[in-house]
Structure 1
Amino acid sequence: MFGIGGSEIFVIILIAIMLFGADKVPEIARTLAKGITQLKNATDEIKNEITKSAEENGFDKKSLTSGFDTEFQGLKEHVDGLKEDFTANSSLDVKSITTDIDSEILKAKENLDDLTGPIKRQR
């Protein structure tokens, strides 16, 4: 909740009790809760009004995103086709690729072992 942990809430409650007294804190909490509830209701009403106005003017989510959905589906089918073509026509072997990479790594390690001078590796 707002990135506040238990210890921070405890300190806030202690400060509130010291400032307002133990008898006023529940009343303040109720007032804050009512204010937050009213704010939430107001934002929900605004959201509903905007949605209602958009639907009345023909701007519903379905009509706005339908073009994207069809394009995305076509793109997905195209990528799936490319993937199938690649796997069917691929002559690459993963084992040979990893062997080539491992041999290059070993060459680089040997080159580092042969270094002399101020950047010689410490063992």
Structure 2
Amino acid sequence: MIELATFLFLGFQEVVFILVIVVMVFGADKIPEVARGLGKGMRMLRDATSDIKSEITKSAEKQGIDTSVTKDITDKIKKVKDELEDFTGSVRRNPKL
């Protein structure tokens, strides 16, 4: 049995349907331009959020606010997540059985 990957909880048929609609709306020759524009927009959004995050961190450090608390919490969450993945790895059932 072949397993198909899902993209954002969409099945193969839904992805194909969306692609057909995109080709019909934009045309095959415009798809690379649209994809390039979406990629640039995503990159700009990611850069903007990291700039805002760094500005907030710098401002907090200037004001004397301890930012190590968030790092400690992030580290603990990662540790719990790793432990949970180790535990569920042994508990998970093989869906191919």
Amino acid at match of 1:15: I
Number of residues of Structure 1 aligned to a counterpart in Structure 2 = 66
Give SS of 1:19's match: helix
User: C-alpha distance in 1, partners of 2:71/2:54?
Assistant: 20
Q: TM-score, normalised by structure 1?
A: 0.46
| 1:11 matches 2:17 | yes
When you count helix as a share of all residues, which structure comes out higher? 1
State the distance in 1 between where 2:22 and 2:34 align.
Answer: 9
Partner of 1:120: none
Greater relative contact order, per chain length (Cα 8 Å cut-off, separation 6+): 2
Aligned: 1:21 with 2:31: no
C-alpha displacement of 1:16: 0.5
AA paired with 1:30? R
**Structure 2 CA distance, aligned partners of 1:34 and 1:9?**
22
C-alpha RMSD of the superposition: 2.5
The secondary structure found in structure 2 opposite 1:22 is coil
Runs of 4+ off more than 6 Å? 63-66
Deviation per CA, 1:83-109: give whole Å up to 9, x if none.
xxxxxxxxxxxxxxxxxxxxxxxxxxx
Alpha-carbon separation, structure 1, partners of 2:22 and 2:15:
10
CA contact (8 A) 2:23 2:31 kept: yes
Looking at structure 1, the residues matched to 70 and 50 of structure 2 have their Cα atoms a distance apart, in angstroms, of 22
Matches within 5 A, 1:30-45: 30-45=36-51
- Between the aligned residues of both structures, percent identity stands at 47
1:54 maps to what in 2? 60
**Amino acid across the alignment from 1:44:** S
- Give the TM-score normalised by structure 2: 0.57
